[in-house]
A and B are shown apart, each in its own frame.
Chain A
Amino acid sequence: MTMKASGMEKTDLKNASVDPTLTEVAPSPHLVEGGRTTRRMMIDVLVALAPLVGAAIYFFRWSAVRQMAICLAACLTVEALCALMRRRRPPLADGSAAVTAIILALSLPATAPWYAGVIGSMVAIGIGKALFGGLGMNLFNPAMVGRAFVMISFAGALGAAGYQDAGSTIDIMTQATPLTAFQQSGVVTGLADLLIGRTNGSLGETSALACLAGGLFLCLRRSAAWRIPASMLAIAALFAILQTGFTAQGWTPAHHLCGGALLFGAFFIATDPVSSPLTPQGQMIYGAGIGALVMIIRIFSGYPEGVMFAVLLMNGLTPLINRWTIPPPFGEQ
């Protein structure tokens, strides 16, 4: 910091004692909260995903490891390439590409062919994120953009029927997913299996307990907005009760909550901060909207599950929700 003393007659500025060793000037505030960085938030998500990853590997063995390895490699490569094309340093250290990779991998079935993971990753990072301008700029959840692309492109391999592999050596992979089994043949999966995760399904969604454990960690660390899963699950439970009533037999509201991707989606997909609203009220509306859409798709559509479409639809509404829910400032009558 140098002070211009020339041309200032009769001033004290000439005597200004500016110490060259102590020159730091910066706007206030002069302190920042230690330990809270974007990177730390991403690492929190990865830590919270650990129980899901563990459950996926336990139940789906090598297919889970393979899927995650493919997605990680593809996502990080695409992220680096996109940054290099824009002549920027690859921002791999922020951890966001790794989060997208793991969430994408966990949202794919164990049977998914290798190219599903690769193409899904390319679309997720390339089109879902980099095209919008990178971290923080995307409108839609990148992992869900990638998944939607491959799901629709390879409907045969990744649709509801694609989850089953009659020839698999892993027992649960020969079965239908709980939601498909119920929708098509009225077979009700046991609640204990849903909680532990001993069912077929996307890699990360099967264990309700793992999703809950990781999700609560995320919310307690305040790395995810608790209002989104809270309102989403509350509305989903309400719809479930409206559909089935307070029944303890057959397909109960508890099955609705623990089956499918509802918990995984509530805690890990809907809470993506970039594509969800900023304001507390907006987060409630957003979560409630996803919860309602998931249940409408489950109950009335041909798809057994609807978390992905519900999240993408509400992502599209996020800018509007932000605008509707500008909070009244302190002191506004």
Chain B
Amino acid sequence: MGWFDRYRRGTFDRGIHPPANKHFSTGSDIEIVPCPERVVLPLQQNVGGPCTPVVKPRQKVTWGELIGRGEAFVSSALHAPVTGTVERSVMTTLANGRHMPAIAIRTDDPGLQRQDLWDAVFGGPWPKDCIGIYEPQQIHEAILDAGIVGLGGAAFPTHVKINPNPQKPIHTLVVNGCECEPYLTSDEQLMRQAPDAIIAGAFLASYAVGAQRVIIGVEDNKPEAAESLRQSVGRTGIEVRLLRTKYPQGSEKHLIKAVVGREVPLGGLPADVGVAIGNVGTMAAVARAVVRSRPLTHRVICVTGAGVAQPKNLLVPIGISIGELIDYCGGLTADAARIVAGGPMMGFAVADRTTPVTKGTSGITILTHEDTATAAAGPCVRCGRCVEVCPMGLVPTKLAQAARTGDLRLARRYNILACFECGACAYSCPARIPLVQWIRAGKAQVARSQGR
């Protein structure tokens, strides 16, 4: 690989290069966490509407049984990740601070253990030329029934995305293997250890949406993951493409720009440029749902950072608490400062360790005091650094100013709603202004004023 090849690799404009810090957990084999005594499943783990419980307290449920039904179109079903007894309804706190009713299940039978669990979820053979067996509608329904949401973090229900729409034909399925957040390694490790499930799922999803092409985008700091996928491609015709390592390459719109060369219109969807897109973990879940009729009950997650004793990649049941995972990884180190659900750029700092892992939790990053040390915010000197890095081409300091002064017209003129809070501006700001926080507040103000 010469510099020229690197230069030609797809990317997007602007963005930042934070230290990757993947070394804590990169390349370490996915460990299977023992079945917890209790899981807590918030009724809304996805973008859209909550699900409605279909179980009662003291009812016995088995692994994979439906416990919550998605009623709205944009919502998803919930399944029991363990075999056990439903407890009386509880409230829990999500990583983002929202209080949410949840179904708690006390485990009666640990069920499949270790290698057996791995084999059931990711292992074993995955058919990669099974198109004739499953019809597109069948695949769509399997995804819907399995309660699959985007596992990259946004948790948008997958059946809404993998849904053939005659008005907006899809030509390309883009699979997101970028994992551009610093620290996180769960997707990378999944690509290295379960490429067959990802390829099979991508193939099925592409057939369901009628895409002629499938391109898996992987950042070029994960060559082993890309190679693992390439080995597994077989005769499916799926292309694995290396992209320049840059944050936020894993953002849906920026990945499409890098791979297909088209910009998703402001306020539009990937389907507007003929693309469907999903994360690698989501594709593996699709394969599992279609081929093995198993719902989404487990996911791969990394517990990483300098603040945890033994950083690891883990296969965990959804609903296990963050505290249990930290304990499994040897606990916190003495200088641990902040537990972040997700990566350090877009994740949520968690105060309560009973917070459960949800479908969208891509990792737990534990930062030290040294990592999070920052000076007090100073005045903006209008250096323009935030403008230079904003992947959406916005003027973050103006948005923050508009939010601070409550000037909603100014906020709209500068397209505040286009911001997806990637944090590139606040990361780069020499005055340490909490730009994302201001902009978030401004977006809420604008949304409220439009709702009226």
Task: List residues of A whose CB falls within 8 A of some B CB.
Answer: 1, 3, 8, 10-13, 15-19, 22-33, 36-38, 40-41, 94, 96, 134-137, 222, 225, 273-274, 276-280, 283, 322, 326-333
Contact = CB atoms under 8 A, between A and B. Distances in A.
B380 A136 contact: yes
Contacts of A326: 395, 413-414
A40 B393 contact: no
A49 to B, nearest CB: 17
Contacts of B332: 22
Contact of A27 (B267, B397, B436): B436
24 contacts: A3-B351, A10-B88, A16-B93, A17-B354, A22-B338, A23-B351, A26-B372, A27-B436, A28-B421, A30-B367, A31-B367, A32-B427, A33-B16, A33-B427, A36-B428, A36-B430, A38-B383, A38-B430, A41-B383, A94-B378, A135-B378, A136-B382, A279-B384, A322-B398
A13 B91 contact: yes
B91 A274 contact: no
Nearest to B397: A278
Given A22-B336, A278-B395, A28 B345 contact: yes
B379 A134 contact: yes
B338 A18 contact: no
Contact of B436 (A12, A25, A28, A276): A28
Given A40-B430, A273-B384, A330-B393, A31 B351 contact: no
Given A29-B427, A37-B432, A327 B387 contact: yes
Interface in B363-381: 365, 367, 371-372, 374-375, 378-381
Contacts of B429: 32
Given A10-B91, A16-B352, A28-B423, 19 more contacts: A3-B93, A3-B352, A10-B89, A17-B323, A22-B332, A25-B349, A26-B349, A29-B427, A31-B182, A31-B345, A33-B16, A36-B428, A40-B430, A274-B382, A280-B384, A280-B387, A283-B384, A330-B391, A331-B418
B166 interface: no
B354 A15 contact: yes
B90 A11 contact: yes
Interface of B: 13, 16, 18, 40, 88-93, 99, 102, 104, 182, 253-254, 257, 263-268, 323, 332, 336-340, 344-354, 365, 367, 371-372, 374-375, 378-385, 387-388, 391-395, 397-398, 413-415, 418, 421, 423, 426-432, 434, 436-437, 440
B426 A32 contact: yes
Contacts, number: 193
Contacts of A29: 344-346, 423, 426-427, 436
A225 B427 contact: no
Contacts of A25: 338, 349-351
A23 B338 CA distance: 7
A330 B418 CA distance: 8
Contacts of B380: 136
Contact of B432 (A17, A32, A137, A273): A32
B381 A273 contact: yes
A329 B91 CA distance: 40
B362 to A, nearest CB: 14
Nearest to B183: A31
Given A26-B338, A29-B344, A280 B393 contact: no
Contacts of B104: 12
Contact of A278 (B18, B345, B387, B391): B387
B18 A33 contact: yes
B344 A30 contact: yes
Among A13, A17, A24, A329, chain B packs the most CB atoms within 10 A around the CB of A329
Contacts of B254: 330
Contacts of B339: 22
A103 B92 CA distance: 59
A30 to B, nearest CB: 4
Contacts of A277: 384
Contacts of A329: 266, 392-394, 415, 418
Among B16, B264, B385, B434, chain A packs the most CB atoms within 10 A around the CB of B385
Contacts of B264: 331
A326 to B, nearest CB: 6
A27 B415 CA distance: 22
A99 to B, nearest CB: 11
A320 to B, nearest CB: 14
Nearest to B16: A33
B349 A30 contact: yes
A128 to B, nearest CB: 15
Among B182, B339, B383, B414, chain A packs the most CB atoms within 10 A around the CB of B383
A277 to B, nearest CB: 8
A30 B384 contact: no
A15 B388 CA distance: 46
A42 B338 CA distance: 31
Closest 5 CB pairs of A and B: A29-B423, A136-B379, A11-B91, A25-B349, A30-B344
Given A327-B394, A330-B418, A18 B352 contact: yes
Contacts of A322: 398
A331 B354 contact: no
B351 A331 contact: no
